Amino acid sequence: MTASDNTIPTALLGWYDRHARGLPWRARPGAPAPDPYRVWLSEIMLQQTTVAAVKPYFEKFTATWPSVEALAAAPEEAVMAAWAGLGYYSRARNLLKAAREVAARGGFPESEAELRQLPGVGDYTAAAIAAIAFGQRAVVVDANVERVVSRLFAIDDPLPRARKAIRAATDTITPAGRAGDFAQAMMDLGSQVCTVRQPQCLLCPLASHCTARTLDPERFPVKPAKKARPVRQGRAFWIVREDAVWLVRRQGSGMLGGMRALPDDGWSARGDGHGEPPLPGEWASRGVVRHGFTHFEIELEVLACAGNNDMPGQGEWWPLERLTEAGLPTLFAKAAQRALAG
């Protein structure tokens, strides 16, 4: 297959014209490109996150901050609170940094090279924005495209070593025209038809071109054995006074940086937590919550105690009836639910 052979892109784009997913950040097939702000925002949110999880966050963000200039002017704490629950919180900090850079320069850069200079924008995201927002020919490879292409060409090297070959193969079938539609068509094919398990080969517009179809499609891409994630231990402290809970603001850098949270014993800095409770008193265990991060899991015991008017350190008393508005990250939202359940 060569870049001049348009059999695959023609078949795929014809399928996409009939079956494209309707997503709030997309333009319809063949329509003018969407606002680069919406493309960039969606791509940042979709990093390691599902479309279903992203939709409500995208709609909330664009309703609150309808332009990159509006987002650039937003307070960091408001952005972090709006992001709460979406995970990978460094994305939110980089989102705000990038918005301020784009607003300062008067708009988004159009080239992949310039887009890669924005905080939080890597090779894939830069290629996706260049293709979808600016119609540039770019080789866009996400997990869905990786799966489609590894099956089309039966690339049997294990990941991550296979990624170089997958990218090269994707380059051979990427057309110069309708670059954004082609990138999104590949993503849709991977998410709807060429799925991880039980791919629907009979419905696939590229079935006649697919080498893996006569083998075992589910074998591709070849993945290395999973490594067990280490488990950390820690404690979170639930301190209540007059129908309000004591919340702190985590340090701006590091794990869950800049987020409101319950006080804890320092587990994120040292692995297992060893810090003492923030004040003396009779602490009662409310149970343990578990949560998975990218490289480890945490078992967090929730300890409860009554607070007083002389709390150590900086924090704020947050009304329990408005706790859902605090923007707690998922781990601490779980801890709060555990504490409230008694």
Q: Residue 214 above 80 pLDDT? A: yes
User: Which pLDDT does position 1 carry in this prediction?
Assistant: 41
User: Which pLDDT does position 6 carry in this prediction?
Assistant: 84
Domain co-membership, 324 together with 249? yes
Q: In percent, how much of the chain has pLDDT > 90?
A: 80
Last residue of a domain, one of 219, 248, 266: 219
Residue 56 lies in a domain: yes
Chain length of the chain: 342
The model's pTM is: 0.80
Last residue of a domain, one of 194, 219, 244: 219
What tens digit of pLDDT does each residue of 64-89 get?
999 999 999 999 989 999 999 898 88
Domain co-membership, 163 together with 210? yes
Domain co-membership, 64 together with 144? yes
Mean pLDDT of 101-107: 97
Domain co-membership, 237 together with 204? no
What tens digit of pLDDT does each residue of 218-265 get?
999 999 888 888 999 999 999 999 999 999 998 877 788 888 999 999
CATH number at residue 33: 1.10.340.30
Domain co-membership, 274 together with 197? no
Mean pLDDT of 179-205: 97
- Reported as a pLDDT band with limits 50, 70 and 90, residue 274 is low
Domain co-membership, 195 together with 289? no
User: Which pLDDT does position 123 carry in this prediction?
Assistant: 96
Domain that holds residue 108: 7-219
Residue 87 lies in a domain: yes
Q: Residue 213 above 50 pLDDT? A: yes
Residue 107 lies in a domain: yes
CATH number at residue 240: 3.90.79.10
Residue 224 lies in a domain: no
Other residues' Cβ atoms within 10 Å of the Cβ of residue 4? 8
Domain co-membership, 59 together with 143? yes
- Reported as a pLDDT band with limits 50, 70 and 90, residue 276 is confident
- Reported as a pLDDT band with limits 50, 70 and 90, residue 272 is low
For CA atoms 85, 147, 40, 192, give the dihedral sign.
negative
Q: How many domains does the chain have?
A: 2
Residue 1 lies in a domain: no
Residue 38 lies in a domain: yes
Domain co-membership, 179 together with 300? no
Q: Is 43 a catalytic residue?
A: yes
Last residue of a domain, one of 166, 196, 219: 219
Domain co-membership, 138 together with 264? no
Domain co-membership, 22 together with 155? yes
- Reported as a pLDDT band with limits 50, 70 and 90, residue 270 is low
Domain co-membership, 155 together with 291? no
Residue 97 lies in a domain: yes
181-206 core/surface letters (b: 16 or more CB in 10 A; e: else): bbbbbbbbbbbbbbeeeebeeeebbb
Domain co-membership, 197 together with 297? no
Residue 225 lies in a domain: no
Between CA 133 and CA 179 the distance in angstroms is 10
